[in-house]
Amino acid sequence: MKKILTYLRNHYADISKGSLFILSVVLLVLIFPKEGKFKYEFRKGKPWMHEDLIAPFDFAILKPEQELEEEKQFALKDLKLYFKKDEELYQKQKEKLINDFETKWQIKYSDKRRLEQRKEKNRNVCLAIFDTIMQHGIIELTPEIEDKPEDYTIVVITNNVAEEKQLGDLFTIHTADKFIHSEPDKFEPVDKNLVVGLLENSLIQNIKFDTKTTEREKQALLDKISLTRGMVQSGERIVSKGELVSGEKYIVLESLRLDYESKLGSSFKYAGILAGQIILLSVSMLSLFLFLFFFKKEIYAETKKIVLILICILFMVLITSLVVKYKPDYLYLIPICLIPIITGIFFDTRLALFVHLITIIITGLLVPNSYEYVFLQLFAGTVTILSIVRLERRSQFFLTSVMIFFTYSLIYTGMTLIKEGGLEGINYVYFVLFAGSATFTLFSYPIIFIFEKLFGLITDVTLLELSNTNNKVLRELALKAPGTFQHSMQVANLAEEAIYEIGGNPLLVRTGALFHDIGKIDDPLFFIENQTTGVNPHDELTYDESARIIIGHVIKGVEKAKKHKLPEQIIDFIRTHQGTRKTDYFYTLAKKDNPDEEIDESVYTYHGPDPFSKETAVLMMADTVEAASRSLKNPDEEAINNLVENVINKQMENRQFDNADITFRDIKNIKKIFKKKLMNIYHLRIEYPE
């Protein structure tokens, strides 16, 4: 038991990472639909590459989509539109008309009681015209009947009694208004203005489109259409090996595939399907785990990076599963190419390609025509990766989107030509889906920003923004401590060149170099590069006080960086650029002036930590070498050689690079680069041998 606990304690990190991959397999299995897959791959227009296929059971041959669509259109020619006549509305409107008539007549003829007989006649005429219009009915104009002729027949339901009528037999608001203006002229004496005005205000559409009944009748007509045409008997040969999968053969094979998969999904073979999914998904995720373990140890070492990769894969598989289940026609709208963009920007193109492969292999198990799907997504992803190899501008996201669209379109056109032998079979809806998918990849920019904040990672896009010298912090450094700013620029150039040589992230080290001394902003005159008047404020301080101020610029730099919300990766350069070295100048003076006293070394020692990466180690070297080179009185080749060798060798003696992944060969190359760059800065030529 003790051995087990010891093993668990010693391998806790590996076990926790392995658990993440196991959890991802469990989630993927839950996402996957529990249905079987047809065991043969086939494509229209290509030979049957398997053994002769014999029907394993009786199954019906499904009609092709185009044939079904034609039959539906033919069946719907007999569909009659249903409308409902609202008798209750008619009665309410009639009562309102009577009341309005009484009110209007009273207002207009209040002093003429002798006109009572005429009033009765006007009211009767008004009601007669209203009844005529409403009994015929005023139909509601809907898109379904707008372009129909007057002899078009519809069905009007009145009090649950259906009656066929032609559109010409019914009023519209417009024709009812014309009828109102013409009808009162037939009666004398009638106050036409009064009657017409009242009737116009009383017009209302009392025959309205009955959507439910129409849909019910439509469905009844569609249900009469048979989805199949003929049967294939069990034991009947379907296709022979090498036989071309023609249009008819393709329909039969597709019918068998659908029937086969439905039988698998609803039978006792559910456990077998589940086991198969677990095996395939486990193999997929294990291959990713081993790839990270053997080839990407720096990524494998950080759990948050593994979590980011797994989230990307799981999210894309979930989206694909939902679309295939509910809206399979929109499969190619899914922006699969987001995966290589995100992983490529956060990590590298090699990992981006591998993660993309894993993703499309897993999603390929979900989709129909998986070969075409994987082929299409593989090359679209490859083009995506190539387009973001050197991401320097945000506009590249748009260019990537355009390239994705053209890649999709080109490959789809090629596949259509292979299957159909011409462009007649191209479905132009696919191009719209490709354009939508390519457009969705533009969301990678905000997604990357969110992931940066969630996982504390940093991308080249952010580094490019930070390394802009118009950045608020860098502008403040240039204004308040111009000497330090120039020093930082030179350090950035030296460090970037060295990282190019030994391998690393040049943009990261350049950005870190620009910010490494921002702690000097508040007290710039205490640092020699900013002293232009010949006055040195350290002359008024003790050695201890001076050392504390010099050492304090690291702490102040970290505080200022956090205040301005700089990424932790940049703050690391501020923390480590002095390591755990001493402020040699003041420490040496203190020992010299106080030979009989014991000097507290901690007062003169930086708090660290030491550099822990190639980039932070290179920055420490570049920072010290550049600062020391300014003190050279005669910067010739020999002086520069000695300076670089002495400075870096002393740092190595002080064990400043013990925690960094850097070799003696790397350091040798760095020295060579620094010497060359410094000689260029001081305009020196290499002395040729005699």
State the amino acid at position 315 in one-letter form: F
Burial of 686 (0-12, 13-18, 19+ CB in 10 A): exposed
Structure tokens at 419: 């299957």
Calculate mean pLDDT across residues 513-540: 88
Burial string for 149-162 (b: 16+ CB within 10 Å, else e) reads eeeeebbbebeeee
Specify whether 403 is located in the same domain as 523.
no
Specify whether 111 is located in the same domain as 248.
no
Share of the chain above pLDDT 70, in %: 93
How many domains does the chain divide into? 4
Residue 543 near residue 654, CB atoms below 8 Å: no
Specify whether 319 is located in the same domain as 342.
yes
State pLDDT tens for residues 157-187: 888 888 888 888 888 888 888 888 887 766 6
Name the phi and psi angles at 7, rounded to 5. Answer: -65, -45
| The pLDDT of residue 268 | 46
Band the pLDDT of 10: cuts 50, 70, 90.
low
Specify whether 330 is located in the same domain as 448.
yes
Q: Comparing 295 with 49, which gets the higher pLDDT?
A: 295
Q: Comparing 615 with 203, which gets the higher pLDDT?
A: 615
Residue 398, CA distances (Å) to 388, 402, 442, 600 in order: 11, 6, 7, 59
Rounded to an integer, what distance in angstroms lies between the CA atom of residue 413 and that of residue 405?
12
Calculate mean pLDDT across residues 45-72: 79
Is 72 a domain residue?
Answer: no
Estimate the share of the chain in helix, then strand, then coil, as percent rounded to the nearest 5.
65, 5, 30
| The pLDDT of residue 688 | 45
Share of the chain above pLDDT 90, in %: 36
Residue 458, CA distances (Å) to 103, 414, 507, 565 in order: 79, 39, 11, 13
Specify whether 55 is located in the same domain as 83.
no
Q: Please check the confidence at residue 479 and state whether its pLDDT lies above 70.
A: yes
Cα torsion through 11, 16, 17, 23, rounded to 10: 140
Helical axes 444-455 vs 338-346, angle rounded to 10°: 40
Specify whether 426 is located in the same domain as 332.
yes
State pLDDT tens for residues 268-304: 466 777 888 899 999 999 999 999 999 998 899 889 9
Specify whether 482 is located in the same domain as 622.
yes
Residue 232 near residue 53, CB atoms below 8 Å: no
Choosing from 436, 455, 474, the residue where a domain stops is 455
Give the H or E element holding residue 344.
helix 338-346
Listed in sequence order, the residues at least 6 apart from 94 whose beta carbon sits closer than 8 Å to its beta carbon are 127, 130, 131, 134
Choosing from 427, 455, 483, the residue where a domain stops is 455
Band the pLDDT of 51: cuts 50, 70, 90.
confident
| The pLDDT of residue 7 | 60
Closest listed residue to residue 543, CA positions, set 599, 484, 581, 598 = 599
State pLDDT tens for residues 566-591: 999 999 999 999 999 988 888 888 88
Listed in sequence order, the residues at least 6 apart from 205 whose beta carbon sits closer than 8 Å to its beta carbon are 138, 139, 140, 173
Specify whether 286 is located in the same domain as 413.
yes
Q: Please check the confidence at residue 480 and state whether its pLDDT lies above 50.
A: yes
Specify whether 336 is located in the same domain as 387.
yes
Please name every residue paired with 155 in a beta bridge, in sequence order, or none if there are none: 82, 164
| The pLDDT of residue 5 | 66
| The pLDDT of residue 337 | 94
Chain position carrying tokens 């086991």: 275
Give the H or E element holding residue 209.
strand 207-209
Is 121 a domain residue?
Answer: yes
Chain position carrying tokens 């923390």: 575
| The pLDDT of residue 69 | 83
Least confident piece of the model among 105-109, 379-383, 613-617: 105-109
Is 689 a domain residue?
Answer: no
Is 68 a domain residue?
Answer: no
Radius of gyration of the chain (CA): 42
State pLDDT tens for residues 115-129: 677 788 888 888 888
Is 472 a domain residue?
Answer: yes
Burial string for 70-104 (b: 16+ CB within 10 Å, else e) reads ebeeebeeeeebbbbbbeeebeebeeebeebbeeb
| The pLDDT of residue 568 | 92
**Structural domain that includes position 414:** 2-28+272-455
Is 69 a domain residue?
Answer: no
Structure tokens at 586: 């003041």
| The pLDDT of residue 36 | 62
| The pLDDT of residue 115 | 66
Structure tokens at 13: 């990190």
Q: Please check the confidence at residue 689 and state whether its pLDDT lies above 60.
A: no
Choosing from 209, 236, 265, the residue where a domain stops is 265
Specify whether 451 is located in the same domain as 464.
no
Specify whether 513 is located in the same domain as 652.
yes
Closest listed residue to residue 412, CA positions, set 396, 428, 395 = 428
Is 92 a domain residue?
Answer: yes
Calculate mean pLDDT across residues 593-613: 86
Is 358 a domain residue?
Answer: yes
Query: Which string of DSSP letters, residue by residue, matches 107-173?
Result: HHSTT-GGGHHHHHHHHHHHHHHHHHHHHH-BB---TTTTT--TT-EEEEEETTEEEEEEGGGSB-H
Burial of 395 (0-12, 13-18, 19+ CB in 10 A): exposed
Name the phi and psi angles at 630, rounded to 5. Answer: -70, -15
Please indicate, yes or no, whether the overall pTM of this predicted structure exceeds 0.75.
Answer: no
Highest mean pLDDT among 148-152, 373-377, 426-430, 683-687: 373-377
Q: Please check the confidence at residue 26 and state whether its pLDDT lies above 90.
A: yes
Rounded to an integer, what distance in angstroms lies between the CA atom of residue 512 and that of residue 494?
12
| The pLDDT of residue 358 | 96
Specify whether 521 is located in the same domain as 666.
yes
Rounded to an integer, what distance in angstroms lies between the CA atom of residue 191 and that of residue 121?
10
Band the pLDDT of 2: cuts 50, 70, 90.
low
State pLDDT tens for residues 433-455: 999 999 999 998 889 889 988 88
Least confident piece of the model among 184-188, 223-227, 414-418: 184-188
Rounded to an integer, what distance in angstroms lies between the CA atom of residue 155 and that of residue 162?
6
Q: Please check the confidence at residue 266 and state whether its pLDDT lies above 60.
A: no
Helix and strand counts by DSSP (H, E) for the chain: 28, 8
Name the phi and psi angles at 157, rounded to 5. Answer: -100, 120
